[in-house]
């Protein structure tokens, strides 16, 4: 592992965080009052980090710090601290393009691998809101806008390759998170490893069948493309747990897995998590059918998401292309313009195909691998949970093995409807 020793680092607690923040004049002023008056709470419930909410008499901030191990597994699973650096670097790269769609970053402290940022209140994690049965009218649209901007402006369509290569050289070192993705998304679900878990014994059969399924393993193996296709700076872990929302505001958070990869990787992550949430809805229903409306609303967000992403990415390509891909001067004449338009459509079709494949891989890993979603995990009744998970796995297998049947976002919804869990 590429893990230098950082002697100044220590995992912060409520007291040491207050002390640290007190030494940052702008943050101290933002919070107001004396540090003794600040209310500090550690609230991290993700897989990796410490997350503190700090309220002062005048304002509030959020502080996120790397731990030297995977929090969800404990100290035996060591993990370099430097993911915080890549998160800060990602925000630095995409910040100007996604103002209002990401948290404002106030400070990054290299020695502590700690980022101090805007505290998003009264936002909640999108996944939690959807599980609770709440609808967020802006979320899919805003995440699509975010992805279109962040991906377009970091791609060869928008920047000269020299700038992109410089950024790639930085993010190529984000190896420990990439290792997690390589292993947990594309390999673990298809092999027996101790860290895997699933709803057992209900899913024992389908887990074994997936491990034995040659065509499925070959289709999932296609995912390695994410290592060799540096289309844009992608967030790297853009599921519904990486989005904070209110009814009128949306922010994408947690880009510590950022790398140069296929744009479809982020698109697929978000799509997969909408699908899984929809498939989990009957498991959260107090009465049969009580969540059908919420399920349908969540499914309807998928075409909204893809169609807005597609439209905005194309708009940006037509208005802001300044990179080395398809240089404008080559396509200035009418024949060139028509040919370029055709190339744009094929480019978007390829992104869509990637999105489908990655959505399938990401669904399978959340049900058969190490890191699960509370969409399913919070269904207390194991039989009901297993029924929802089995339906999602079956859909994912179909998407991976029969991608030719899914040509547009409406086809995704149709495929989902054909595989919905039926709970009594």
Total of chain residues touching Mg ion, rule CB under 5 A: 2
Judged by beta carbon distances under 5 to 8 A according to partner kind, the member of ligand SR1, Mg ion, none in contact with residue 244 is none
Nearest Cα to Cα of residue 236 among 87, 393, 85, 50: 87
Strand partners, 115: 64, 108
Scanning residues 65 to 84, which ones bind Mg ion (CB under 5 A)? none
Q: How far is CA 343 from CA 189, 207, 317, 325, in A?
A: 36, 40, 12, 11
180 binds, among Mg ion, ligand SR1, none (CB under 5 to 8 A by kind): ligand SR1
Concatenated DSSP letters of 160-173? -HHHHHHHHHHHTT
254 part of the interface to Mg ion, by CB under 5 A: yes
Helix H or strand E encompassing 4: none
Residue 22 or 72 with smaller CB distance to ligand SR1: 72
- Beta bridge partners of residue 71, listed in sequence order: none
- In terms of CB distance, is 254 or 389 closer to Mg ion? 254
* Cβ at position 237, least distance to Mg ion in Å: 5
* CB nearer Mg ion, residue 244 or residue 420: 244
Q: What residues pair up with 234 in beta bridges, in sequence order?
A: 259
Q: How far is the CB of 17 from Mg ion (least distance, A)?
A: 20
Check binding of 266 to Mg ion (CB under 5 A). Answer: no
The binder of 307, among ligand SR1, Mg ion, none, by C-beta within 5 to 8 A per type, is none
* Residue 184 interacting entry, from ligand SR1, Mg ion, none, C-beta within 5 to 8 Å by type: ligand SR1
Could you tell me which stretch among 162-170, 251-259, 260-268, 312-320 binds Mg ion (CB under 5 A)?
251-259
In the bound complex, what is the minimum distance in angstroms from residue 34's beta carbon to ligand SR1? 36
**Contact residues: ligand SR1, CB under 6 A:** 47-48, 70, 180-181, 184, 237, 371
- Taking the complex as a whole, how short is the minimal distance between the CB of residue 270 and ligand SR1, in angstroms? 13
Q: How far is CA 189 from CA 143, 181, 209, 333, 337, in A?
A: 28, 12, 11, 50, 45
57-82: b (≥16 Cβ within 10 Å) or e? eeebbbbbbbbebbbeeeeeeebbbb
Q: 326 - beta bridge partners?
A: none
- Using the minimum distance from each CB to Mg ion, give the nearer residue, 52 or 313: 52
371: partner contacted, choices ligand SR1, Mg ion, none (Cβ within 5-8 A by kind): ligand SR1
Shortest Cβ 50–ligand SR1 spacing (Å): 15
Of Mg ion, ligand SR1, none, which one does residue 70 interact with (CB within 5 to 8 Å by kind)? ligand SR1
- Please name which of 172, 173, 323, 150 lies closest in space to residue 234, comparing C-alpha atoms: 150
Residue 392 Cβ vs ligand SR1, minimum distance, rounded to whole Å = 17
Q: Which stretch binds Mg ion (CB under 5 A): 9-17, 104-112, 199-207, 229-237?
A: 229-237
| Burial annotation 351-370 (CB, 10 A radius, 16+ → b, else e) | bbebbbbbbbbbbbbbbbbb
Q: Which is nearer to ligand SR1, 237 or 295 (CB)?
A: 237
Chain residue whose CB lies nearest Mg ion = 254
Q: Which does 398 bind (CB under 5 to 8 A by kind): ligand SR1, Mg ion, none?
A: none
Which CB atom, from 45 or from 381, has the smaller least distance to Mg ion? 45
Stretch that binds Mg ion, among 76-84, 183-191, 237-245, 288-296 (CB under 5 A): 237-245
Q: Which is nearer to ligand SR1, 316 or 360 (CB)?
A: 360
Which contacts qualify for 42-47: CB closer than 8 Å, 24 or more apart?
42/13, 42/14, 44/71, 46/71, 46/72, 46/241, 46/254, 47/71, 47/72, 47/371
User: Residue 18 or residue 240: which is nearer to ligand SR1 going by CB?
Assistant: 240
- What are the beta bridge partners of residue 52? 42, 63
Nearest 5°: phi and psi at 252? -95, 130
Contact at 8 Å (CB) between 370 and 196? yes
Tokens 């430097």: give the residue: 82
250 binds, among ligand SR1, Mg ion, none (CB under 5 to 8 A by kind): none
Would you tell me which residues interact with Mg ion (CB under 5 A)?
Answer: 237, 254
């Amino acid at each position: 592992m590429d893990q230098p020793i950082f002697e100044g680092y220590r995992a912060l607690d409520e007291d040491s965080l207050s002390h640290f923040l007190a030494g940052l004049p702008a943050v101290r002023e933002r919070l107001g009052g004396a540090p003794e008056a600040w209310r500090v709470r550690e609230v991290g419930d993700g897989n990796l980090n410490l997350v503190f909410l700090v309220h002062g008499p005048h304002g509030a901030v959020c502080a996120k710090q790397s731990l030297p191990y995977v929090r969800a597994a404990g100290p035996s699973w060591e993990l370099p601290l430097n993911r915080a650096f890549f998160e800060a670097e990602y925000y630095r790269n995409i910040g100007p393009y996604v103002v209002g769609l990401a948290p404002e970053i106030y400070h990054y402290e290299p020695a502590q691998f700690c980022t101090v940022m805007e505290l998003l209140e009264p936002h909640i994690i999108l996944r939690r809101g959807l599980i609770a049965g709440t609808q967020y009218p802006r979320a899919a649209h805003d995440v699509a806008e975010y992805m279109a901007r962040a991906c377009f402006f970091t791609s060869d369509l928008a920047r000269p390759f020299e700038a992109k290569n410089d950024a790639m050289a930085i993010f190529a070192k984000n190896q420990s998170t990439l290792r997690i993705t390589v292993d947990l998304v594309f390999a673990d679900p298809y092999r027996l490893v101790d860290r895997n878990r699933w709803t057992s014994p209900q899913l024992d059969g389908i887990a074994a069948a997936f491990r034995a399924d040659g065509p499925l393993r070959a289709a999932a193996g296609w995912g390695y493309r994410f290592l060799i296709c540096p289309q844009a700076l992608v967030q790297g872990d853009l599921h519904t747990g990486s989005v904070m929302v209110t009814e009128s505001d949306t922010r994408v958070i947690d880009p510590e897995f950022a790398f140069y990869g296929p744009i479809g990787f982020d698109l697929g992550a978000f799509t997969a998590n909408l699908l899984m949430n929809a498939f989990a809805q009957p498991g959260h229903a107090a009465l049969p059918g009580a969540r059908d409306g919420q399920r349908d609303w969540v499914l309807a967000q998928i075409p909204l998401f893809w169609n807005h992403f597609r439209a905005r990415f194309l708009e940006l390509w037509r208005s802001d292309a300044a990179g080395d891909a398809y240089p404008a001067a080559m396509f200035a004449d009418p024949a060139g313009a028509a040919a370029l338009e055709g190339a744009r459509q094929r480019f978007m079709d390829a992104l869509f195909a990637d999105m489908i494949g990655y959505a399938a891989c990401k669904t399978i890993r959340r049900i058969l691998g190490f890191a699960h979603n509370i969409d399913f995990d919070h269904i207390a009744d194991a039989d009901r949970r297993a029924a929802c998970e089995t339906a999602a796995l079956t859909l994912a297998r179909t998407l991976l093995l029969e991608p030719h049947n899914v040509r547009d976002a409406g086809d995704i919804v149709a495929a989902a409807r054909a595989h919905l869990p039926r709970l009594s």
